[in-house]
């Protein structure tokens, strides 16, 4: 894979790199992207109808089951070459901040610390009434088949339903998390936007703001997106292949 020498030079000279990721970065780990057709029994459902407070209130077993099914899928898979190349890059640039829309923990498992999860995490549920965090049993969720009906646990303190610790449609981003992400955008000089359709706001504003502030924006996606016209470089391809090749072009082969 050949890259523009200017792009590689800008990467090598960058002081603060933000890696902004979406579902496409976990696709090569076998996690379907959000807008892909859902598999198995879930193929009859639209994710945007399940990821709401209203859906959870009406059908807590269905919504909790869907998230437990996804959490199981994440726990039995591994970080892929994209997560690994990003983690390896963190050792070569003065500062690297990962800001993700993903609710999995694959960046952390590849070795990145302090990941900013704009849309929360599958692994940090909380009470839907009192807000206290709930500790999930260790290990892979013990659900049957596709987890179509799994009642959520009850909060140990107030007895309310425990809900997934993710941001649903219609909910604001957690203020502290969003504040950290915006702060990072103000100080970055280079941003990767990898595997995101860049259509869900406010998260999608990140690469647009970075470009407006003069940062070099490198987009990695097999498909065109709304970001194409403002990105400094549009790299069409799979995240794992492209990120591993970029690392190699900038710093040589890395160990996995």
Which residue of 111, 153, 160, 222 would you call a contact of ligand APR, by CB under 6 A?
222
Which residue of 10, 14, 17, 22 would you call a contact of ligand APR, by CB under 6 A?
22
Q: Which candidate in 16, 83, 107, 119 is catalytic?
A: 119
**Contact status: 174 vs ligand APR (CB under 6 A):** no
Q: Which stretch binds ligand APR (CB under 6 A): 33-41, 122-130, 144-152, 173-181?
A: 33-41
Active site residue 59: no
**Contact status: 27 vs ligand APR (CB under 6 A):** yes
CA gap 52, 168 in Å, rounded: 5
Q: Which of 68, 43, 49 is nearest to 164 (CA)?
A: 68
- Find out whether 193 and 216 touch, Cβ atoms under 8 Å: no
Site pattern 122..161 for ligand APR (x: CB under 6 A): ----------------------------------------
**Contact status: 77 vs ligand APR (CB under 6 A):** no
Which residue of 29, 97, 101, 219 would you call a contact of ligand APR, by CB under 6 A?
101
Q: Which stretch binds ligand APR (CB under 6 A): 104-112, 191-199, 210-218, 227-235?
A: 191-199
233 forms bridges with which residues in the sheet? 218
Positions annotated as catalytic residues are 119
**Which spans of this chain sit near ligand APR (rule: CB under 6 A)?**
22-24, 27-28, 33-35, 101, 119, 195-197, 200, 220-223, 225, 238-239
């Amino acid at each position: 894979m050949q890259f523009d020498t200017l792009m590689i030079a800008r990467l090598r000279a960058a002081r603060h790199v933000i890696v902004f990721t979406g579902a496409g970065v976990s696709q090569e780990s076998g996690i379907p992207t959000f807008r892909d057709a859902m598999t198995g029994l879930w193929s009859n459902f639209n994710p945007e109808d399940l990821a709401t407070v209203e859906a959870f209130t009406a059908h807590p077993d269905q919504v909790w089951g869907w998230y437990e099914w996804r959490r199981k899928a994440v726990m039995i898979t591994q970080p892929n070459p994209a997560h690994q190349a990003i983690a390896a890059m963190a050792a070569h640039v003065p500062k690297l901040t990962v800001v993700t829309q993903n609710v999995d923990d694959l960046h952390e498992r590849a070795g990145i610390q302090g990941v900013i999860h704009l849309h929360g995490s599958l692994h940090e549920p909380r009470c839907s009434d009192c807000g206290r965090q709930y500790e999930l049993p260790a290990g892979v969720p013990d659900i049957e088949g596709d987890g179509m009906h799994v009642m959520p646990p009850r909060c140990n303190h107030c007895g309310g339903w425990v809900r997934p610790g993710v941001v649903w449609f219609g909910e604001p981003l957690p203020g502290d998390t969003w504040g950290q992400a915006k702060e990072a955008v103000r100080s970055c000089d280079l941003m990767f936007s990898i595997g995101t359709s860049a259509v869900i706001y406010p998260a999608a504003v990140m690469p647009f703001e970075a470009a407006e502030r003069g940062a070099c924006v490198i987009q990695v996606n097999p498909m065109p997106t709304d970001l194409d016209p403002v990105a400094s470089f549009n790299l069409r391809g799979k995240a794992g292949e492209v990120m591993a090749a970029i690392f190699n072009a900038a710093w040589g082969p890395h160990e996995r």
